[in-house]
Amino acid sequence: MKIFTTKQIAAIDQFTIQQEPIASIDLMERAALQIANWLIHHLSNERKIIFFAGPGNNGGDALAVARIMAEHDFICEVFLVDFGKPLQAEPAENWHRLKEQGKVKLGRIESQESIPAVPDDAVVVDGLFGSGLSRKLDGLPLQIAAALNASRALVVAIDIPSGLFGEDNSNNDLGAVIQADYTLTLQFPKLSFFFPEHEALLGRWEVLPIGLHPSVISETETPFHFLTAEEISDKIPVRKKFSHKGTYGHALLIAGSYGKVGAALLASKACLRSGVGLLTAHIPHSAYQIIQTAVPEAMCSIDASDLMFTEFSDLQQFSAVGAGPGLGVKPNTRKALLRLLEASPAKLVLDADALNILAMHPEWLPLLPENSILTPHPKEFERLVGPSGDSYSGLQSQLAFSQKYKVIVVLKGAHTRITSPDGRVFFNTTGNPGMATAGSGDVLTGIVLGLLAQDFEPLDAARVAVYAHGLAGDLATVQCDELSLIASDIIENLGEAFFQIRK
C-alpha cells in the first residue's frame, strides 16, 4: 500500500472533492463520523471529553466530532484556540453548527492564562494541527502542548499528534509535540509513523478510511509503501504437481563458527521451511555432527577449518548463496568472504558478520553483485554507513546506499524497511517486540535465501521474507507471551504464515 506525503494527501483530498464530487464540509463530516465512531466504541460516556480545536481543518474535524459525540450523550467540552485570525470556512461552519446544537460547553483559548486544567480522568481530543502544520510549535500552541503533556488524561490525536510533521522531523523539537495515547489517522498512515523515535508521540495508531477517490490514489506516484499480504500473495508460487526438488532451487548457506553454530542451524531450518528444493550448509568441521543431527534435511559442505569459514568450492550448482550468520570476523574468514564476492554469485544475501566484515572493508562494497540483499540490524547498518541522526535522515542514507551500490537493504527492527536500487521503500507491518531475541535475524536470512534460491526476484524475496517472518512471529504469540518467544518459534510458525499470506 502506498504512503503519501501530507502535500500529496491534500491534493488527493481536493481531487476527491472535485471528482466525487463532495462538498469539503461533507468530506470533513465523513472524517468526523469515522473518528466519532471509533471514540464511541472505545470510550465510556462517563468520561468527559475535552476537545482542543485549532484554526484549520484539523480543528474543524474536532468540532464536528464533538457535535456527533454530544448527540450520543457524551459529555463534551470544546476549546477553540484563538489566534486572532478568522477561522477557515469549514471549521467556521462547524463552530456555528456546535453553537446551534447547544449541547456542548464552548470556550476559547486566547492566552496561556485561558488554557484549562485537564482532569486526570478526562479524555483529550487533539485537533490543534494535522497535516497542515507549517512550522514547529511555538507560542500558545507550544504552551497548550506542554499543559496537555503534563496532564495524565488520555490523549487521542486526530490525524497526527499536533506538532509532528508527516515526513521530515529532523529539525523539529519532539519534546514540544503533543504526546498521544492513540492517533486516529485519516485514510493513510504518514511516513513519520514508521520511525521509532515517534512511538511515544503517536501511541497506538489506527488508519480510518474516509473514502478518498480510488483513481487518484492509484495514479499518484510515491516511493513509499507498506507491506500487506494482498500485495505479496501472488509472489508465492503454487507448487506444480509434477515438480521435483530440482524445480525449487539449491541454496548454499555459509554460516556458523565455533561457538556460533546455532546461527547456521536456525538459518538452515528457516531456509528449508521456505520452500527451497535443496540446501547445502557450508560449516566448519566441528559443526558437522550438530547440523547433520539437528537438520537432517540439509546437506553439508565442510570447511577445511575446524572452527570457521575459510574456503568454498564451485558455486555453479547453487541458485542462491547466503552468508553471514555466526561467521565471526577472523582474518581467514574475511579473506574467504572477499573471494566469495569476487566469485560474484548471481543471487546473494548477506547478514550479520558478513556485513560487519564489509564495514571493516568498505573498499569491497563495489564488488557486491547487483541486487544482492543485505539484512543489517541498526548497529550493523551504522557500521556500514556511519551514524545518521534521526530516522528520516537514516532513511535517506539507506536509500543512497541502495542506489550507490545497487543493492537491496533490509534494515531490521519494528517496521523493518526495505530499500531498493530504484528508490522505492517498503515498511513492514508484521512482527512484534517478542522477536527482539537472539537468532531471529538468522531465521530471516534463511527465509530470504530459501526464496532467492527458488527464483524469486530479489526484491520480492526480501518483501515476502520480511512479511512472512514478522507474521510467523505474530502467530507465535497467539499461544505464547511475547516475552517467551524464541527464534525457533518463528520457524515453527512459518508454515502457517505462508498459508495465511497465500489466502
Ligand X SMILES: NC(=O)C1=CN([C@@H]2O[C@H](COP(=O)(O)OP(=O)(O)OC[C@H]3O[C@@H](n4cnc5c(N)ncnc54)[C@H](O)[C@@H]3O)[C@@H](O)[C@H]2O)[C@@H](O)CC1
* Cell 504512503 found at: 3
What's the closest the beta carbon of residue 27 comes to ligand X, in angstroms?
Answer: 5
84 known member of a binding site: no
The CA-CA-CA angle for residues 31, 34, 37, to 5°, reads 145
* Residue 444 contacts ligand ADP per CB under 6 A: yes
Number of residues that bind ligand X (CB under 6 A): 28
Q: Is 412 in the site for ligand ADP (CB under 6 A)?
A: yes
Q: Which is nearer to ligand X, 86 or 386 (CB)?
A: 86
For residue 126, say whether it is annotated as part of any ligand binding site.
Answer: yes
Minimum distance from residue 183 beta carbon to K ion (Å): 8
Other C-beta atoms closer than 10 Å to the C-beta of 362 total 11
Residue 255 known to bind ligand? no
Residue type, 473: G
Name which of 141 and 322 has its Cβ closer to K ion.
141
DSSP conformational letter for 163? T
Considering beta carbons, is residue 70 or 158 the nearer one to ligand X?
A: 158
State which amino acid sits at residue 466: V
133: contact with ligand X by CB under 6 A: yes
DSSP state of 442: H
Distances (CA, A) of 295 to 61, 143, 264, 314, 490: 58, 61, 10, 23, 16
Q: Which grid coordinates belong to 417?
A: 524497511
How many CB atoms lie under 10 A from the CB of residue 222?
Answer: 14
Among 25, 43, 146, 436, contact with ligand ADP (rule: CB under 6 A): 436
**156 belongs to the binding site for ligand X (CB under 6 A):** no
Residue whose CB is less far from ligand ADP, 159 or 353: 353
User: Any alpha helices (H) in 329-486, and if so which ranges?
Assistant: 331-343, 352-360, 378-385, 391-405, 440-453, 458-476
Residue with Cβ nearer K ion (4 or 498): 4
Please tell me whether residue 327 binds ligand X under the rule CB under 6 A.
no
* 13 near ligand ADP, rule: CB under 6 A: no
3-state helix, strand, coil in the chain (%, to 5): 45, 15, 40
Nearer residue to K ion within complex by CB, 156 or 444: 156
161 binds ligand X (CB under 6 A): no
Residue 54 as a binder of ligand X (CB under 6 A): the answer is yes
Residue from 54, 60, 275, 431 touching ligand ADP (CB under 6 A): that is 431
Q: How far is the CB of 423 from ligand ADP (least distance, A)?
A: 22
Q: Quick one: which segment of 48-56, 252-260, 309-317, 322-330 binds ligand X (CB under 6 A)?
A: 48-56
Q: By C-alpha distance, which of 148, 228, 151, 150 is closest to 188?
A: 228
Sheet of 348-350, strands arranged across: 224-226, 425-427, 417-419, 408-411, 373-374, 348-350, 320-323, 250-254, 278-283, 299-302
CB 135 within 8 A of CB 67: no
Q: Which of 3, 5, 12, 28 binds ligand X (CB under 6 A)?
A: 28
Q: Does 441 bind ligand ADP (CB under 6 A)?
A: yes
435 close to 414: Cβ distance less than 8 angstroms: no
Which residue numbers belong to the known binding site? 57-61, 126, 130-136, 159, 162, 263, 326, 377, 412-416, 441-442
Binding site for ligand X (CB under 6 A): 10, 13, 24, 27-28, 31, 54-61, 88, 129-135, 137, 141, 158-159, 186, 210
The residues of the shown chain that bind ligand ADP, judged by CB under 6 A, are: 352, 377, 412-414, 416, 431-433, 435-436, 438-442, 444, 469
